Structure formats: C-alpha cells, structure tokens
Amino acid sequence: MAQIGVSDLAVRPAEGFYDFDVRLPRPLPMRTFLPMGYEPNYPYPLVVFLHGHGSTEERALRLAPRLSRRNFISIALRGSELADPKSDGSPTYSWSNDGQSDHMVEDYVFRAIEQTRKQFHVHSERIYLAGICEGASQAYRLALSHGSCFGGLIALNGSMPRFNRPLLRPQSLRHLRVFIGHGLANSVVPLSMAREDHRLLYSAGLNVSMQTYACNHKLHQDMLNDVNRWIIENIQREDA
C-alpha cells in the first residue's frame, strides 16, 4: 500500500496499489491500482469496482491484477454504510438500497472518476462500472441512470435493484455495453434474477452478454478472464 501526491506523478509510478481521499465535504477513501509499465501518454480504460455486502474497497481491488496487470487503471470505493465486522473486529461495509444515499453515492463515484482522470491518463469513453454482488445493484443504477458517462457495465454475481429500479431509456443507452457473469450455484442471488435482468436489457435493445460459471456467490477466475476479454474486444471494435 502506498500514498502518493500530485508531485510524485511527475515520475512514472510503479505498478501497484495506491490510496487517495476523494475530496467531498467528508473525505472518502479511494483505492487505486496502476498497471505494470504505466505509460502516461496512453489513455487507459478505467474500471470502477463497487464491492459486495460485508466487504471493503481494499478487498475489491485485489481483483484488479487478477483481471489484468497491464490493460486497465482500476479504482475501488467504499460502501456507504457499516456492515457487521469481521471476526477480527475489522470493519466491513455495504451499500444502501433504499434510495436515501443515492445522491451521495453518485457524487462519490463521479468525483472519484474526475480525480483519477486528473491524476492519470484515462480514456473518457472507456469507463466501466464493475459491481460485485450487492455492488452490482449500485452499478446498474448508476449506469442506467447516467448512460452517457460510462462505456460499459459489469455485473458479477449481482442483480438490478428490485426497489427504486432505474427507468430504461433505450435511446440514451444504445452505446452502453453490459456484461453479466453469474454463478450457477449462487443461492444468495439466484440465477433466475440474473437471467431476468438479461432479458430485460436485451428487450430494451442494449448490447448485453451473459455468461454462467460453475461457482456459487464467490467470484470465479474465469469470470475475470472473460471480463478482460470482453473489454478488450469492445475496444478493438471501437478502433476498427
């Protein structure tokens, strides 16, 4: 773990994890992963991780090098509410799904993206929201409500919000690509919910892909391999 300031960015930073505060009325944490051989002149895709219930931004960002050590800049943010602590007493977090924290979460996500774009070279049209389990509901809500701000949405072992579900506006979401990855044995979020989301998005005319995996509520490495491949294929289509 490292903390770097703006003056340190004059020197090409090394691959690894870095901690920043998102400048809001109350500073909130943002954990950042920079890829191997970070090249300041190259506009990187940005992957924004939103963790699941009872997790942290630090745990979520451990997925970044498993996704790819070279292809993306990644950030992870902390849930808006405290959840039950781990057995060692360390805190964990969750996201509110009652709609009361929506505005705060939006500000947090967009300010974190803005800060990252100021500090590092991020492609403005290749920003991907990646929601894990409970975090997928937040990712769906943000991407479907602000479709022009994101190039893609990734939902891993999660589902769309069942309350305060965002309205689908197909005209504003035509460019948005969606990847759904779900465990066949997921008893927390049944596979039927992910399939319902897929049908709804497909019927609305979105470019949506869904893959299933031989796992439960935990993420499978094959999910991350497929997400990496899916993002790269999207970029190659755009550049063709």
Q: Whose structure tokens read 């950030």?
A: 75
Closest to 97 (Cα-Cα) out of 126, 41, 64, 140: 140
> Using one digit for the tens of pLDDT, what is the confidence trace for 152-190?
999 999 999 877 666 677 677 878 999 999 999 999 999
Closest to 154 (Cα-Cα) out of 163, 170, 162, 143: 143
Residue type, 210: M
Query: Structure tokens of 71?
Result: 């292809």
Closest to 224 (Cα-Cα) out of 154, 138, 160: 154
The answer to pTM > 0.75 is yes
CA 202 to CA 46: how far, in whole Å?
A: 25
Whether 142 shows a pLDDT value over 60: the answer reads yes
Closest to 32 (Cα-Cα) out of 48, 46, 13, 18: 18
Query: Looking at domain 2-239, does it have CATH number 3.40.50.1820?
Result: yes
Query: 156, 63 in Cβ contact below 8 A?
Result: no
Q: What are all long-range contacts of 98-106, with beta carbons under 8 Å and residues at least 24 apart? A: 98/163, 98/164, 99/163, 99/164, 102/141, 102/164, 104/80, 105/80, 105/138, 105/142, 106/142, 106/146
Distances (CA, A) of 116 to 145, 166, 176, 200: 21, 26, 21, 33
> Using one digit for the tens of pLDDT, what is the confidence trace for 70-106?
999 999 999 999 999 999 999 999 998 766 678 899 9
